[in-house]
Structure 1
């Protein structure tokens, strides 16, 4: 925890942070500390959470969202990552936090990480702390592996546990269709199943060289061929219906379907906006929630 002297707090600050998908997720053999080395390419897409922070007499947290986002399982106590983010920098104030979610809960799209990043930035701006980017990123890394990327946004490569983030120049505009699952999937269990299925996994994961070249070329078909997720096999083995979903999405016209991160949300790369709308229409015959999205979009930022 870092202690700072807060300036006079102004009006409430609202920060928007985007969902992430993994265009490449290479996973290495589990280390002695229990973590897996990762080499991943993140992209922020246009599903987002908004986090509002204001000074209050007592600490409080509320979570809301549209009907298709089940917020019932999101904690509203000190275990919530947004509350833990505020505790990273002690300024002696109490806060009221409101989270409005659009990112699927427990869907492998780093919605919790987005909330943590948004709370860090909102707190910094609320109290006019002016912390440099490297300090905010260090705070984010202590909260979780995906939180630094939620600050950075755009398209970026992550290494280590995913927390060492290097932005990638991505001038493309990529259209996606997102299908969340009604029931979440435990990330630790997916990693454990990866270990069972891949006892011979390499110490260091494969580098995303083909994918980086596809991004530079701005060619959707080439990018579709380069998408990769080492956790897709264990996720589908645990939840076979995810494989059926991917087959349906590709049959509806998607260039490629992929489990997002550790799942269970699946994402589909499409050939432009019109192609995405066709896939939305096709999958809506089978699934209640089918969402178009575009990427890359900005990382955590203050709403005017």
Structure 2
């Protein structure tokens, strides 16, 4: 299989979880979840070029301190795809990092998805979408959704996806925290809070999400309706590990958000706005409070992975 002569650039969106129901800890050490993923118009840019080895460099506002070796999901994605195709993992990655790190926004998963798409094009593999999705699921729970984008119902560990047809666009403000949170640590805290019998775990996370009305709210496009459907089983655990999140959520409500939620395992808080103008006003007000490092007005619901070259 020959390499192409040119470069391939890919943008893949961040995500938030509009609902996240977490089941009991399984014997395999993982939790089954039911969730509604929602892709945001906030992206990293990954560029892949032909090379004689595998290398990775990063620039951008959110690149500080990130690994540029096998500790990076994009690197691991290239290795996995090359092994699957039976070819050397020869590619040079350059990532312009804009998605906040360890923030509950799946920035690492977005980069892994971008690497799969870019290398598939660069190496002229032309793998079917289902094959790329299966590889994505091996890399992490959110990588498959990063390939899909839009809004989708997630099951299993998040890798089993059903697109929400006709899902509407919504306006959000992301309150980016000064620090990060470890996803495994947040899940461990959730298990500690629930106790040995796991009595407070969702017995059927998929059914919990389906019964909540969130799917209908997403399809309706009505932010007032969606505001009453946002929920996250991980939020109490994230607040326990990062108590300042309670202050951030309260500040968002005080500034006029329709609703607020910790995104995924945190520590980013996502605030729902009526429209883009409201989101811009809300972002300025939140930044003025000083409760977050940055407040970003974004839209979500139809963002997709985009191959630029």
CA shift in 2, pair 1:93/1:229, >3 Å: closer
CA drift at 1:165: 1.1
For the pair 1:227 / 2:223, whether they are aligned, the reply is: no
Task: Compare 14-23 and 271-280 and name the one that shifted more.
Answer: 271-280
Alpha-carbon distance in structure 2 between the residues aligned to 1:237 and 1:212: 29
CA contact (8 A) 2:70 2:76 kept: yes
Q: Does 1:133 align with 2:129?
A: yes
Indicate conservation of the 8 Å contact 1:175/1:272, yes or no.
Answer: yes
Q: Which runs of 5+ in 2 are unaligned?
A: none
Q: 1:93 deviation in Å? A: 5.0
1:124-154 superposed Cα distances (whole Å, 9 cap, x missing partner)? 0112211001100001001111000000000
Distance in structure 2 (CA, Å) of the matches to 1:296 and 1:126: 29
Q: Once superposed, which parts of structure 1, at least 4 consecutive aligned residues long, lie more than 6 Å away?
A: none
Contact 2:176–2:293 (Cα < 8 Å) also in 1: no
How does the TM-score come out when normalised to structure 2? 0.93
Given that residues 151 and 167 in structure 2 are in contact (C-alpha distance below 8 angstroms), is that contact kept between their aligned partners in structure 1? Answer: no
Partner secondary structure for residue 56 of structure 1: coil
Quick check: 1:302 aligned with 2:307? Answer: yes
Q: Does 1:195 align with 2:191?
A: yes
Which residue matches 1:28?
Answer: 23
> Aligned match of 1:40 in 35, 38, 50?
35
- Counterpart in the other structure of 1:207: 209
| Alignment-derived partner of residue 12 in structure 2 | 17
How many aligned residue pairs are there?
296
Tell me which residue corresponds to 1:263: 266
Structure 1 residue 117 and structure 2 residue 119: aligned? no
Cα deviation, residue 113, structure 1: 0.3
Structural RMSD (CA): 1.3
- How far apart, CA to CA, are the structure 1 residues paired with 2:118 and 2:202? 40
Structure 1: segments with no counterpart, 5+ residues: 1-5
- Aligned match of 2:176 in 177, 180, 186? 180
Structure 1 pair 144–93 and aligned structure 2 pair: CA distance change class (3 A): closer
Q: Give the corresponding residue for 2:294.
A: 289
